[in-house]
Amino acid sequence: MKLDEVVITKAIIENFTKLFVEYTDVDVAIAGAGPAGMVAAKELAENNVKTVIFERKLSVGGGMWGGGAMFPLIVVQKEGKEILEEYNIKTEQYVPNYYYANSVESVAKITSGACDAGAKIFNLISVEDVMIRGEDKRITGLVLNWSAVELAKLHVDPITIRAKLVIDATGHAAEVCNVVLNKIPGAQLKTKTGKIVGELPMWADIGEKALVENTVEVYPGLIVAGMAANAVLGSPRMGPIFGGMLISGKQAAKVAMDLLKS
Residues forming contacts to ligand 48H in the complex (CB under 6 A) are 31-37, 54-57, 62-64, 126-127, 169-173, 175, 202, 226-228, 237-239, 242, 245
Of the two residues 127 and 196, which places its CB atom closer to ligand 48H in the complex?
Answer: 127
Of the two residues 35 and 221, which places its CB atom closer to ligand 48H in the complex?
Answer: 35
**To the nearest whole angstrom, how small is the minimum distance from the Cβ of residue 13 to ligand 48H?**
22
Are the beta carbons of 196 and 187 closer than 8 angstroms? Answer: no
The SS3 call for residue 224 is: strand
Round to whole Å and give the CA distance between 73 and 240.
Answer: 8
Are the beta carbons of 167 and 251 closer than 8 angstroms? Answer: no
The SS3 call for residue 92 is: strand
Are the beta carbons of 166 and 31 closer than 8 angstroms? Answer: yes
**To the nearest whole angstrom, how small is the minimum distance from the Cβ of residue 262 to ligand 48H?**
25
Of the two residues 80 and 220, which places its CB atom closer to ligand 48H in the complex?
Answer: 80
**To the nearest whole angstrom, how small is the minimum distance from the Cβ of residue 28 to ligand 48H?**
15
Amino acid letter for position 32: G
**To the nearest whole angstrom, how small is the minimum distance from the Cβ of residue 220 to ligand 48H?**
20
Round to whole Å and give the CA distance between 24 and 11.
Answer: 20
Of the two residues 155 and 261, which places its CB atom closer to ligand 48H in the complex?
Answer: 155
Of the two residues 47 and 203, which places its CB atom closer to ligand 48H in the complex?
Answer: 203
Nearest to residue 166, comparing CAs of 157, 177, 158, 150?
Answer: 177
Are the beta carbons of 124 and 57 closer than 8 angstroms? Answer: yes
Amino acid letter for position 111: T
Are the beta carbons of 34 and 169 closer than 8 angstroms? Answer: yes
**To the nearest whole angstrom, how small is the minimum distance from the Cβ of residue 5 to ligand 48H?**
31
**To the nearest whole angstrom, how small is the minimum distance from the Cβ of residue 195 to ligand 48H?**
19
Are the beta carbons of 249 and 212 closer than 8 angstroms? Answer: no
DSSP collapsed to 3 states, 130-142: EEEECCCCEEEEE
Of the two residues 143 and 259, which places its CB atom closer to ligand 48H in the complex?
Answer: 143
**To the nearest whole angstrom, how small is the minimum distance from the Cβ of residue 56 to ligand 48H?**
4
Of the two residues 118 and 239, which places its CB atom closer to ligand 48H in the complex?
Answer: 239
